Structure 1
């Protein structure tokens, strides 16, 4: 599938790339090769292939949600670099 120099320039503009004339010629050939390969893929018969979301048959593994004891907040505040009342004190990062 032929691709024009203007198409390459437009794609480069969308990608915010500044290309030289030599690079435009180089990428023109590469993009044509890619599009030719995509055209070949269109000829493959996939009518008997089930749609899938992933190539591997993966399933989410969930663990049972259970309540467990937490760390004592006062013990955590004792090891904090700085604390103010019952909260961590952190330096201001946004003006």
Structure 2
């Protein structure tokens, strides 16, 4: 499969990109190199290779997810620039 200028222009339009003529040529050459490389990879026999599901054999050690209050309500409001008894005061957002 070869990429031509019209294909590059169509892809650029779909991706909302703008290329000048030299960049179009560079993109065409780069995409053709990528496709040639993919054709080379297709020649390999991978029937005996297991699919890769993880990049390493490492297992994540995760802590148990337990909800708890790290600070009290009063401590949370202590450094608030503006507060109204139990709530933060913020500028009005909607009219």
Structure 2 length as normaliser, TM-score?
A: 0.78
Question: What's the counterpart of residue 20 of structure 1?
Answer: 20
Larger CA deviation: 24-33 vs 66-75: 66-75
Matches within 5 A, 1:1-95: 1-66=1-66, 70-93=70-93
Structure 2 unaligned regions, length at least 5: none
Unaligned 5+ runs, structure 1: none
Aligned equivalents of 1:67, 1:10: Cα separation in 2: 51
Question: 1-side partners of 2:45 and 2:57: how far apart?
Answer: 22
How many residues align structurally?
95
The offset of 1:22, in angstroms, is 2.2
Superposition TM-score, scaled by structure 1 size: 0.78
Deviation at 1:58, TM superposition (A): 3.8
Cα displacement (A) at 1:75: 2.5
For residues 42-78 of structure 1, give each alpha carbon's deviation from its aligned partner in whole angstroms, at most 9, with x where no partner exists: 1122112221233222433221345656322113212
